[in-house]
């Protein structure tokens, strides 16, 4: 049952007032002086016709779209799912809606083309690389934008989490359990988060007076983690504990431990960054460091709303970072 679209004019006609009045009633314009009974008529007409403002017309006139863009690498990654949820919640609270795009669909440039001009009031880039041609394009587009969980060397427009501290927390936990040979299964060298987590690892090891164990870099994938872990275990004096920079790698790493005929945590303890629901259901349940990912998304949206064109943003989100101890970490074997 296709209804014909209802406009301000229709409402105005029924309520016997000017379109302007209806508009001001809808927008709760405080400068409007109106008799209660007139307002009632307007409201009744809106109700009767089921009027809803036309977004295109409104945004053409006001040049505000009430929509934010959010670009992520992959929807299937629970880390970004968490960020989206936070961003969406905050956007909803502001009456905004989110138009998502992912690198699996097509590149960022192509996404920007489809977005066009005037469709979004701001853009969040979660986990995108540091591509300078991209940044140039963004600056041309005249909308505020921000990187999440990934900083750019060239431009100060990012909010990140305290990955350093998260890494240190994980390492301290292992140290406290009595481990001394603690290796680091790092992320890919081009990833900014990986670098910060590695730095945290090094600092914490240093603080504990321990020598940095072997560090092996791997992709943020199960396969990458498995390969890297196999390497670590093959060493003449394998580590008794491994700090893994990422859950995806950690899952692969756990598999590699089993493949090597060893047992977690008896032979090797594992702790990884980012908590996620399934972590507690893996076997053994994975000890993780929980970071405020949803809060990161929320903060990004909040900032977008108040960002001035040339503002710089270089924020390390203050938020709870906690160790979720499960069964993959234990004191080393005597």
Partner DNA sequence: AGATTCCAGTCAATCGTTTGAACGACAGAG
Partner DNA sequence: CTCTGTCGTTCAAACGATTGACTGGAATCT
> What is the contact surface with its own copies in residues (CB under 8 A)?
1-5, 50, 52-60, 63, 65-67, 75-76, 78, 81-82, 84-85, 88-89, 91-92, 95-102, 104-106, 110-111, 113-119, 139-142, 222, 251-252, 254-255, 258, 277-278, 280-283, 309-310
Those residues whose C-beta lies under 8 Å from the C-beta of residue 188, and which sit 6 or more positions away, are 194, 217, 218, 219, 220, 224
User: Which partner, DNA, its own copies, none, binds residue 189 by CB below 5 to 8 Å per kind?
Assistant: none
CB atoms closer than 10 angstroms to residue 248: 24
Residues 210, 241 contacting (CB under 8 angstroms)? no
Q: Write out the binding residues for DNA, residues 109-128 only, by CB under 7 A.
A: 117-118
- How many angstroms separate the Cα of 314 from the Cα of each of 29, 151, 152, 237? 36, 8, 10, 41
Radius of gyration of the chain (CA): 26
Q: How far is the CB of 123 from its own copies (least distance, A)?
A: 12
Question: If binding is defined by CB under 7 A, does position 333 make contact with DNA?
Answer: no
User: Which partner, its own copies, DNA, none, binds residue 306 by CB below 5 to 8 Å per kind?
Assistant: none
User: Which partner, its own copies, DNA, none, binds residue 101 by CB below 5 to 8 Å per kind?
Assistant: its own copies
Question: If binding is defined by CB under 7 A, does position 32 make contact with DNA?
Answer: yes
Q: Write out the binding residues for DNA, residues 157-216 only, by CB under 7 A.
A: none
Question: If binding is defined by CB under 7 A, does position 94 make contact with DNA?
Answer: no
User: Which partner, its own copies, DNA, none, binds residue 16 by CB below 5 to 8 Å per kind?
Assistant: DNA
> Which residue, 48 or 207, has its beta carbon nearer to DNA?
48
Question: If binding is defined by CB under 7 A, does position 5 make contact with DNA?
Answer: yes
> Which residue, 20 or 278, has its beta carbon nearer to its own copies?
278
User: Which partner, DNA, its own copies, none, binds residue 88 by CB below 5 to 8 Å per kind?
Assistant: its own copies
Q: How far is the CB of 62 from DNA (least distance, A)?
A: 5
38 to 77: interface string for DNA, x by CB under 7 A: x------------x-xx--xx-xxxx--------------
CB atoms closer than 10 angstroms to residue 263: 12
Residues 189, 217 contacting (CB under 8 angstroms)? yes
What is the bridge-based pairing of β-strands 269-273 and 97-102? unpaired
Those residues whose C-beta lies under 8 Å from the C-beta of residue 245, and which sit 6 or more positions away, are 167, 184, 185, 186, 187, 193, 194, 197, 198, 220, 272, 273
Residue 100 tokens read as 């998502």
Residues 72, 80 contacting (CB under 8 angstroms)? yes
Residues 8, 23 contacting (CB under 8 angstroms)? yes
Residues at the interface with DNA (CB under 7 A) = 5-9, 16-21, 23-24, 26-27, 29, 32-35, 38, 51, 53-54, 57-58, 60-63, 117-118
């Amino acid at each position: 049952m296709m209804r014909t679209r209802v406009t301000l004019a229709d409402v105005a006609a029924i309520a016997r007032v000017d379109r302007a009045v209806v508009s001001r009633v809808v927008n709760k314009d405080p400068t409007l002086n109106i008799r209660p009974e007139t307002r009632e008529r307007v409201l009744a007409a809106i109700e009767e016709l089921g009027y809803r403002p036309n977004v295109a017309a409104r945004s053409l006139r006001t040049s505000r779209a009430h929509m934010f863009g959010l670009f992520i690498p992959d929807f299937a990654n629970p880390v970004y799912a968490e960020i989206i949820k936070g961003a969406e919640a905050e956007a909803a609270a502001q009456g905004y809606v989110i138009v998502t795009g992912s690198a699996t669909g097509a590149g960022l440039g192509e996404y920007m083309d489809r977005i066009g001009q005037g469709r979004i009031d701001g853009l969040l880039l979660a986990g995108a690389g540091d591509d300078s041609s991209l940044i140039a394009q963004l600056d041309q587009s005249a909308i505020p934008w921000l990187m999440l969980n990934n900083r750019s060397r060239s431009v100060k427009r990012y909010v990140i989490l305290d990955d350093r501290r998260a890494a240190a927390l994980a390492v301290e936990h292992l140290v406290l359990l009595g481990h001394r040979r603690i290796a680091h299964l790092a992320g890919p060298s081009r990833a900014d988060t990986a670098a910060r987590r590695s730095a945290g690892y090094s600092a914490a090891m240093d603080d504990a007076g321990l020598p940095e164990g072997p560090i092996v870099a791997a992709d943020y994938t199960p396969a990458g983690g498995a390969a890297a872990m196999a390497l670590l275990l093959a060493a003449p004096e394998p580590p008794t504990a491994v700090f893994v920079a990422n859950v995806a790698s950690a899952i692969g790493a756990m598999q590699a431990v089993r493949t090597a005929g060893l047992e977690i945590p008896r032979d090797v303890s594992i702790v990884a960054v980012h908590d996620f629901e399934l972590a507690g259901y893996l076997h053994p349940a994975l000890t993780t460091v929980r970071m405020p990912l949803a809060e990161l998304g929320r903060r990004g949206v909040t900032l977008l709303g108040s960002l001035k064109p040339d503002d710089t943003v270089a924020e390390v989100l203050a938020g709870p970072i906690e160790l979720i101890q499960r069964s993959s970490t234990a004191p080393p074997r005597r």
